Amino acid sequence: MIGILIPAHNEEDLLEDCLQAALRAAQHELLGGETVVVLVVLDSCTDRSSDIVGSYPVHCLEINARNVGEARAAGARFLLERGVRWISCSDADSRVAHDWLVAQLSLEVDAVCGTVTVETWDESFSESAQIRYHQHYQNREGHRHIHGANLGISAEAYRLAGGFEPLASDEDVQLVRQLERCGATIAWSQRPQVLTSARLDSRARGGFGDYLRDLMQAG
- Total domains in the fold of the chain: 1
Q: Is the CB of residue 66 less than 8 Å from the CB of residue 169?
A: no
Residue 213 inside a domain? The answer is no
The C-alpha atoms of residue 183 and residue 105 are separated, in whole angstroms, by 19
Residue 94 inside a domain? The answer is yes
Residue 146 inside a domain? The answer is yes
Residue 28 inside a domain? The answer is yes
How much is the average pLDDT of 193-208?
Answer: 71
* Closest by Cα among 147, 164, 175 to 69: 164
The C-alpha atoms of residue 149 and residue 127 are separated, in whole angstroms, by 24
pLDDT in tens, 52-94: 999 999 999 999 999 999 999 999 999 999 999 999 999 999 9
Q: 70 lies in which domain range? A: 2-118+140-194
3-state SS, residue 52:
helix
Q: Specify burial of residue 69 (Cβ count, 10 A radius: 0-12, 13-18, 19+).
A: buried
Residue 24 inside a domain? The answer is yes
DSSP category for residue 147: -
Residue 63 inside a domain? The answer is yes
pLDDT in tens, 136-191: 888 999 999 999 999 999 999 999 999 999 999 999 999 999 999 999 999 999 99
Residue 41 inside a domain? The answer is yes
CATH (domain of 39)? 3.90.550.10
Q: Which ranges in the chain belong to alpha helices (H)?
A: 15-26, 49-54, 68-81, 100-106, 127-136, 155-161, 171-181, 208-217
